Amino acid sequence: MSFTFNDSAAVGIVFDDGAADAVISAADSADQVLRGEGVFLDGAMDHAVEDFKGGYAQLFTQACAIRADDRARLAGVLAALAEDVRQAKLKAQEEKSRLKKLTAWRQRADIREQHFQTFQSVASDPMPMEWPIAAPTISAVFSARDRARFAGGAGGATSSADPGKLREFVAQSRASMNILDAELGRIRNAWSGFTSACSWVNSGSVTFVSGFERLLTENAADAAWLEQIAAAFETAGSGSMADTILNSALIQHASPGQVSLNDVGALNADQLKAWLAAPANKDRLQGLLSQPGLDPLVTAKWWAGLGHTVTKNGTIEPGISQKLLIEALPGVIGNLNGVTATARNLANRLRLATEKERINAELAKTPQLLRIGTGDSITNPAWTILQTQQKALDGIGQALVNAGTSGEAVLLGFDLTHGSPKAQVSAGNPDTADNVTYAVSGMLITPQSGFNDWAFNAANLQSQQKLISRKKSFAVVAWINYEPPTVPTVNSGDAAGAGADRFVADLQGFNAVREGLGNRTPETLHVLAHSYGTTVTSNALAAAELDVASFTMVGSAGIEKEIRNTGDLHVPAGQVYATHAAGDGLAQMGRFQRQDPRLESFGAKVFSSEEVTIDGTQYQGTTEHNTLVHENGGDGYGYLDKGTTALYEAALTTTGNGDRIRPGARPVSPPAGFAGR
């Protein structure tokens, strides 16, 4: 009878007792040092908090509690690790003994087989346990927790501290960290040796080394943080200071979502520059400034707090911090209600160049045509969008030229990527002008088509206003910051509703800036609109109190019937005006389901757009629905062409001189299709 044995059993297992003992010793030592750190630090912590009060004192106390809890958990993990390795060592010894006995038995079995010994001799020498002892699995899981080091907030809270006591704690903490760092090095090396010399043991989840490292990193960060707090108190020369000052020094410790606009506003220029250097912080600030429902009054106060200078001649010079934000986030600042027009203009002019570069680069790699399954080609939609954006930029550039024909041109905002392109350009500076008129265009006017003419209209109105009131300064905003309707949709109110919301937001932003600058009066703001723009603006004026001094409508496409009369428009009594030229055959198309603001029941004052001589000067009558005709080489005249009655009268109504208008004709009755009240 013969036996066959597995020779691999005689190979043994890879388990070095010395490597195991090194882990046990290192883990036991680190366990004891960690448990002793509390006794070492508690006195220093109690000493520090005697004079440490306020939001940052609370954060310090919380950080110490987290540190104590983490070191206790790590000590427990290391104690368990030492015990697991001891047990693994015993199991390894048992397995080595079994393998040794099995190897000796096999040698005896070979001898018996060679000498043909009887089966009974085998029975008297039973085979040792053939099945191996299962190798144990060792896991040691630990992760250190984050610690909050930024109080944040805009309240009037203060913190107090004795910087000397804070530094004493830092010294004690660092002494402890040096000891723990040595323990970390020892256990790290011991574990590395164990894993290579004791591969018989299975490794489960083992994170205690990285967790130990993270714990010491957090401890070191606390020490650096406390030093910054101590330095801030020493610099202040006082034992008490506002939390907002500490926030400025410690904002780099803020976690995502914790920073507020007030925290950013409290930074000085150097602090802000350092903070913005991190891309994540720029993204964080962009999110804050782009949040829906951001109050323009809050934004205006925040922006002004960053610092700007009002010069002797009344112009506004942005401060260093404001310029940093303009450079960092031009697309946001350039369209942000509550920011001064001066700053927005700087941001938007910067964006004009970068947007041109972007579009040219994207066009260079975007094919105009796409092949389809039939083998034919279609125009690439992406290419079409880029072409539209490029044309819009060209239109904005020309609008700036046209708006500047009577002085300064200000680019208040533009948007190429959210829906159809939008923009607003001002002839004159809305920050400083004595009188500001928002002029709202109608159907089909977009940055890529017609905006340059609308900017000319703004310049024309500004020039005429200057002739009427020579001692005042004027700004006229060419506003097309909405998606206007096309011919098929002009009778719909959807575009007017959406446009009204945007108009309300923009005028609230204007008011917030002017209130902040201290140069807002009840006579400052006026509104003029043409065609479908009158539908947009009347909706806006009915929806919100915007402190508008006058509202002028030319060639109106109609007012929604829900607006009963001028009393619903939040405009001073007698300061709502309307005109419609006899030669305008298009405006009434928009009034099929809307009311004509010239109706007696609506209550607007009607002025003439027909040819007339005033004080010896002949003014031309408007011959069609458009606003700019003669200056574009046409035979007739638009509402806002130079030298027209409509332009002269509109300049009167928008400068507080509406009592001087020439009365115009009212319609006899509503149009046949008007389903009015």
3-class secondary-structure state, position 355: helix
* pTM for this entry: 0.80
| CB 587, CB 579: distance < 8 Å | no
Q: CA 461, 467, 469, 472: dihedral to nearest 10 degrees? A: 80
Distances, alpha carbon 659 to alpha carbons 109, 374, 412, in Å: 127, 68, 32
* Beta bridge partner(s), residue 14: none
Residue pointed to by tokens 């949040």? 291
Pairing of strands 409-415, 612-614: unpaired
Give every residue of the chain whose pLDDT is below 50, as ranges: 1-10, 675-677
* Predicted pLDDT of residue 670: 61
Residues 6+ apart with CB under 8 A from 635: 623, 629
* Predicted pLDDT of residue 8: 38
Question: What whole-number distance in Å separates Cα of residue 607 and Cα of residue 237?
Answer: 68
Number of other residues whose CB lies within 10 A of the CB of residue 169? 24
* Predicted pLDDT of residue 117: 60
Question: What whole-number distance in Å separates Cα of residue 189 and Cα of residue 394?
Answer: 67
Q: Measuring CA to CA, which residue among 604, 485, 474 is closest to residue 533? A: 485
| CB 554, CB 607: distance < 8 Å | no
Average model confidence (pLDDT) for the chain? 93
Number of other residues whose CB lies within 10 A of the CB of residue 178? 10
AA letter at 331: G
Specify the DSSP class assigned to residue 406: G
The DSSP line for 292-337 is TT--HHHHHHHHHHH-EEE-TTS-EEE-HHHHHHHHH-HHHHTT-B
Q: Measuring CA to CA, which residue among 653, 583, 586, 576 is closest to residue 611? A: 583
| CB 20, CB 198: distance < 8 Å | yes
* Predicted pLDDT of residue 118: 55
* Predicted pLDDT of residue 6: 42
| CB 78, CB 190: distance < 8 Å | no
Residues 6+ apart with CB under 8 A from 365: none
Residues 6+ apart with CB under 8 A from 41: 64, 169, 172, 173, 176
* Beta bridge partner(s), residue 605: 577
Number of other residues whose CB lies within 10 A of the CB of residue 348? 27
Question: What whole-number distance in Å separates Cα of residue 413 and Cα of residue 400?
Answer: 12
* Beta bridge partner(s), residue 415: 422
| CB 41, CB 173: distance < 8 Å | yes
| CB 144, CB 77: distance < 8 Å | no
| CB 452, CB 395: distance < 8 Å | yes
Name the token pair of 540.
């806006």
Cα 461 → chain centroid: 37
Distances, alpha carbon 209 to alpha carbons 25, 185, 192, 205, in Å: 16, 9, 10, 11
* Predicted pLDDT of residue 1: 37
| CB 645, CB 622: distance < 8 Å | yes
Residue pointed to by tokens 């199991």? 91
Cα 677 → chain centroid: 46
